[in-house]
């Protein structure tokens, strides 16, 4: 026999606040101190975002940086005796690109009426919401570069060579150098497709035409592909084959699921043999986040002295030089 019976219901909000002015909220001094603490932790939390690991980071000294590249020579030494004319090595001029840092701001304001109530949790949540709005702006910008990196519906930006993030006709500024590709023909999860990507990485060439053998370091897939890849990389024998032949990509490399990736694709981190963490190295990963102003908290003042507030402010640029550190395939 039941002693008590209750029915589910929707609770009434303690306070209903509309607009951008926070009232009857917390002690103003406590909100200020908590905001200072939260912004100090913000870069670490942003860096923990899944897509942050796909971007190399650096800094900018101005709001706009113009970058001119140069390409190493593809010349070679010639037979030459002492006393004869020397052959001098030259370098080629590469392409130029402009990095533009955009400013992002979000703010909160509140009245001194907040000091009348000792309700800490409301103040904490308000500050966290403002900080999350800044982090969200960065996160969605990062995701968009990956999701639309194949150019099917345009892209948030193009590389310094005029191509999309993943492209099969990348060119060099030097005449006569073969095109190179970081686009796989398919995103099918199979033994053949993974091994083909491995071979393609090994066949990489530099912009001056020299061979530049790479190896696959890591694989990234959307959540919808996790089971397939877990099965393929974790099975010692060929999957769905009764002949007991070996699986050539068994434990090939580790993989990671990008939970918020919506494009059906497979992304490979690649880099020179023996080098680790290529995605975070600006020399190899041209997909970059460049900080002009790191996230900071600034206090606001108002004509009405009973109103206080603060803003979060940051300025960064997202752009792409040469995407050496990544290759990918997409299901059409």
pLDDT of residue 42: 43
| Edge-to-edge strands, sheet with 214-222 | 183-184, 326-330, 265-272, 214-222, 255-258
Question: For residue 27, is pLDDT > 50?
Answer: no
Q: Which domains does the chain have, with CATH numbers?
A: 21-67+97-330 (3.90.1690)
Q: Which residue has the higher pLDDT, 265 or 43?
A: 265
Question: For residue 44, is pLDDT > 90?
Answer: no
Question: For residue 47, is pLDDT > 50?
Answer: no
CB 295 within 8 A of CB 39: yes
Kindly report, residue by residue over 54-82, the tens digit of the pLDDT: 999 999 999 999 998 888 777 788 888 89
CB 255 within 8 A of CB 221: yes
Beta bridge partner(s), residue 98: 66
Say if strands 64-71 and 92-100 run parallel, antiparallel, or are unpaired: antiparallel
pLDDT of residue 172: 85
Rounded to the nearest 10°, the torsion over CA 129, 133, 138, 143 is: 90
How far apart, in whole angstroms, are the C-alpha atoms of residue 250 and residue 247? Answer: 5
Rounded to the nearest 10°, the torsion over CA 44, 320, 142, 251 is: -80
CB 159 within 8 A of CB 166: no
DSSP state of 170: B
Number of DSSP helices (H) and strands (E) in the chain, helices first: 4, 12
């Amino acid at each position: 026999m039941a002693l008590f019976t209750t029915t589910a219901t929707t609770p009434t909000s303690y306070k209903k606040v509309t607009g951008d002015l926070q009232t009857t909220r917390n002690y103003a001094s406590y909100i200020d101190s908590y905001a200072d603490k939260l912004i100090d932790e913000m870069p670490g939390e942003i860096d923990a975002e899944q897509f942050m690991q796909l971007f190399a980071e650096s800094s900018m000294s101005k709001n706009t940086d113009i970058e001119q590249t140069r390409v190493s020579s593809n010349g070679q030494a010639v037979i030459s005796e002492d006393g004869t004319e020397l052959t001098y090595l030259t370098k080629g001029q590469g392409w130029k690109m402009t990095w533009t840092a955009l400013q992002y701001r979000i703010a909160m304001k509140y009245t001194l009426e907040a000091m009348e109530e000792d309700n800490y949790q409301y103040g904490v949540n308000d500050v966290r919401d403002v900080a999350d709005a800044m982090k969200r702006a960065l996160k969605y910008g990062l995701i968009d570069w990956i999701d639309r990196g194949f150019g099917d519906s345009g892209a948030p930006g193009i590389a310094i060579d005029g191509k999309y993030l993943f492209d099969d006709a990348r060119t060099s500024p030097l005449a006569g150098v073969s095109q190179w590709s970081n686009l796989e023909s398919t995103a099918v999860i199979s033994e053949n497709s993974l091994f083909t990507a491995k071979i393609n990485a090994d066949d990489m060439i530099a912009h001056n035409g020299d061979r530049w053998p790479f190896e696959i370091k890591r694989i990234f897939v959307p959540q919808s592909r996790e089971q397939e890849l877990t099965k393929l990389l974790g099975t010692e024998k060929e999957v769905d084959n009764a002949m007991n032949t070996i699986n050539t990509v068994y434990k090939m490399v580790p993989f990671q699921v990008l939970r918020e990736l919506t494009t059906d694709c497979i992304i490979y981190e690649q880099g020179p043999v023996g080098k680790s963490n290529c995605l975070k190295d600006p020399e190899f990963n041209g997909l970059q986040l460049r900080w002009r102003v790191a996230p900071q908290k600034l206090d606001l003042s108002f004509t009405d002295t009973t109103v206080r507030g603060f803003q979060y402010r940051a300025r960064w640029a997202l752009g792409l030089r040469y995407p050496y550190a990544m290759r990918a395939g997409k299901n059409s």
